[in-house]
Structure 1
Amino acid sequence: MNQPFNQQRRTFFNAAALGIAATQLGLASGIANAAGMGTSANAAGISAGTNTFTDIRQIRSGLLNVGYVDMGPANGYPIVLFHGWPYDIHAFIDVAPILASAGYRVIIPHLRGYGTTTFLSADTPRNGQQASFTADAVDFLDALKIDKAVVAGFDWGARIATTLAALWPQRFTGLVSVSGYLIGSQEVNRKPLSPKAELQWWYQYYFATPRGELGYRENTHAFARLIWELASPQWKFDDATFARSARSLDNPDHVAISITNYRWRLGLAPSEPRYESLERRLAQFPTVSVPTITMEGDANGAPHPDPSAYAKKFTGRYEHRNLDGGIGHNLPQEAPRAFAQAVLDVARQV
Structure 2
Amino acid sequence: MGPDDGPVVVLLHGFPYDIHAYDDVSAQLVQAGCRCIVPYLRGYGPTRFVDSATPRSGEQAALGADLLALLNALNIPQAILAGYDWGGRAACVVAALWPERVRGLVSCDPGYNIHDIAAANTPAAPETERRLWYQYYLHGERGRAGLTAHRSEFCHLLWKLWSPTWPFAESTFADTAQSFENPDFVDVVVHSYRHRYGRAAGDPDYGFIQERLAQKPLITVPAVILAGADDGVSSKRDSSTAVRGFAGPVRRQVIEGVGHNVPQEAPVEFADAIISLLKNH
Find 1:271's aligned residue among 177, 198, 202: 202
Distance 1:120 1:310, change over 3 A: same
Aligned partner (choices 50, 73, 84) of residue 143 of structure 1? 73
Q: SS of the counterpart of 2:70?
A: helix
Give, in angstroms, the shift of residue 305 of structure 1. 5.5
Alignment partner, residue 249 of structure 2? 317
| Equivalent residues of 1:162, 1:182 under 8 A apart | yes
1:258 corresponding residue in structure 2: 189
Q: Does 1:343 align with 2:274?
A: yes
Residue number in structure 1 paired with 2:220 = 289
Amino-acid identity (%): 43
Deviates more, 1:214-223 or 1:160-169: 160-169
Stretch of structure 1 that moved more, 273-282 or 217-226:
273-282
After superposition, residues 289-308 of structure 1 pair within 5 angstroms as: 289-304=220-235, 306=237, 307-308=239-240
1:215 shift after superposition: 0.3
Q: Which residue of 1 aligns with 2:264?
A: 333
Corresponding residue pairs, total: 279
- Aligned residue for 1:184, secondary structure, equals coil
Deviation beyond 4 Å, 4+ runs, structure 1: none
CA contact (8 A) 1:80 1:107 kept: yes
The offset of 1:148, in angstroms, is 0.6
Equivalent residue of 1:91, what SS?
A: helix
Secondary structure of 2:192's aligned partner: helix
SS where residue 37 of structure 2 aligns?
strand
Q: Work out whether residues 132 and 275 of structure 1, in 8 Å CA contact, stay in contact via their aligned partners in 2.
A: yes
CA drift at 1:161: 0.8
| Structure 1 residue aligned with 2:5 | 75
Equivalent residue, structure 2, for 1:206:
137
- Contact persistence 2:234–2:260 (CA under 8 A): no
**Preserved contact between residue 230 and residue 260 of structure 2 (Cα < 8 Å):** yes
TM-score (norm 2): 0.97
What secondary structure, in the 3-state scheme, does the structure 2 residue paired with 1:170 have? helix
**Cα distance between partner residues in 2 of 1:182 and 1:188:** 14
SS in 2 for 1:109: coil
- Written as runs of structure 1 = structure 2, the 5 A alignment for 1:219-234 is 219-234=150-165
1:214 corresponds to which letter in structure 2? A
- Cα distance between partner residues in 1 of 2:19 and 2:261: 12
User: Which residue of 2 is the match for residue 24 of structure 1?
Assistant: none
Q: Residue 291 of structure 1 contacts residue 349 of structure 1 at CA under 8 Å; is this kept in 2? A: no
Match of 2:136, SS? helix
- Cα distance in 1 between the residues matched to 2:17 and 2:268: 19
How far the C-alpha of 1:335 sits from its partner, in A, is: 0.5
Q: Which has the higher contact order (CA 8 A, sep 6+)?
A: 2
User: Is contact 1:298-1:322 (8 Å) kept?
Assistant: yes
SS in 2 for 1:348: helix
Root-mean-square deviation (Å): 1.0
Report the Cα distance in structure 1 between the residues aligned to 2:119 and 2:103, rounded to whole angstroms. 28
Looking at structure 2, the residues matched to 305 and 290 of structure 1 have their Cα atoms a distance apart, in angstroms, of 24
Give the aligned partner of residue 109 of structure 1. Answer: 39
